[in-house]
Amino acid sequence: RPISLMISTHGGAASDMFSILDVMDMIKKRTCDIETHGIGKVMSAGVPILAAGTPGKRKVGKNCRIMLHNVLAGTGGTIFSMENELEEIKWVQERYIECLAFYTKLTKSRIKKLLKTQKDVYISAEEAIKMGIADEII
């Protein structure tokens, strides 16, 4: 039987998101389908998780708001520590974009263009279907 995953989140840490995506991919490959259900709000790190469900089984509530934005981070310390952290932040941003492109109909260049606005990008349930983040409105 498929696993059903309800998602309503403001987002969270990128490392946690990447861990969840890896587990979802392992389960889909070895065990069963994963149905994802976006309800209420699905923001930031929650968006790739919603999109990572089994294609055809990714659902979103008609009133759900989906939000994408650039990776948020902060650092302090020596210039060398900050340079090191900046490189890691760039890697996380690029990997976030790659994950979205892999699980959706969006290209990396389209995602980068959306994020280039430097503000939160809110998406309706209908837009999420067109972008391939979800397959069906519930």
Catalytic residue among 4, 19, 44, 109: 44
What pLDDT does 72 receive? 86
Residue 44 annotated in active site: yes
What pLDDT does 73 receive? 83
Catalytic residue among 19, 37, 69, 109: 69
What pLDDT does 75 receive? 84
What predicted TM-score, i.e. pTM, was given to this entire model?
Answer: 0.94
What pLDDT tens digit does each residue of the chain (138 aa) get? 999 999 999 999 999 999 999 999 999 999 999 999 999 999 999 999 999 999 999 999 999 999 999 998 888 899 999 999 999 999 999 999 999 999 999 999 999 999 998 899 999 999 999 999 999 999
Answer for the pair 69, 115: CB distance below 8 angstroms, yes or no: yes
Where helices occur in the chain by DSSP H, the ranges are: 14-30, 46-51, 79-103, 108-115, 125-131
